[in-house]
Chain A
Amino acid sequence: QSALTQPASVSGSPGQSITISCTGTSSDVGTYDYVSWYQQHPGKAPKLMIYDVINRPSGLSNRFSGSKSGNTASLTISGLQAEDEADYYCSSYTSSSTLVVFGGGTKLTVL
């Protein structure tokens, strides 16, 4: 069982917006703004999409945005495109015995 909870799957049509949630606790997401999001296409290494809750790496599309409320962080993808179909993972710093924790991953299907 992963330390952070994500929905197993989400879907949307091209052009629509979707949001993926990532729920943790006061030991991680709820207290620290060190939440990051990763996109992983099949057979490929993960790619950093969002860091420090809201920041995008240089050159990344502004269709990807992050937010946080309480113990839940969210990744929103607007203007869905076929190439957005992938697995998405959240991660957070944690004050527990591990340094970082991951969510279980969410499979995004673009219909």
Chain B
Amino acid sequence: QLQLQESGPGLVKASETLSLTCTVTGGSISSNDYFWAWIRQPPGKGLEWTGSIYYSGSAYYNPSLKSRVIISLDTSKNQFSLKLSSVTAADTAVYYCVRQSYFYYYMDVWGKGTTVTVSS
């Protein structure tokens, strides 16, 4: 059974870089059937797509974050990562790593989520 687990600092200072890693177990991130995505949810608010990456390394980002976000793959460790630079309080959120269908775009496996707070 495929499982995803987020890891990384729960507290990041404003203007610094948020870095999270998602470890995938029970399946390979090298599958050509899926994207690997990050979704975030600010406190009390809705879901926001951050970006998705394909096993080839092609990545797609939310334009509202595009200049600050990088998603990468480490196939040797079966992990993918999120880096978000120049963070502000608005980046405080629960961050979920997700498996996303490459052909149909739905998100069928979610990590439990990790809370990241940006402090001033």
Instruction: Report which A residues bind B (CB closer than 8 A).
Output: 2, 34, 36, 38, 45-48, 51-52, 57, 89, 91-93, 97-105
Contact = CB atoms under 8 A, between A and B. Distances in A.
A33 to B, nearest CB: 9
Interface in B63-120: 63, 96, 100-101, 104-108, 110-113
Given A45-B110, A45-B112, A45-B113, A105 B47 contact: yes
Contacts, number: 62
21 contacts: A2-B46, A34-B106, A36-B107, A45-B111, A46-B47, A51-B101, A52-B106, A89-B47, A91-B47, A93-B105, A98-B62, A99-B49, A99-B105, A100-B49, A100-B52, A100-B100, A101-B49, A102-B46, A102-B49, A104-B46, A105-B47
State the 4 A-B residue pairs at the shortest beta-carbon distance, nearest first: A51-B106, A36-B106, A45-B110, A93-B105
A89 B110 contact: no
A91 B108 CA distance: 12
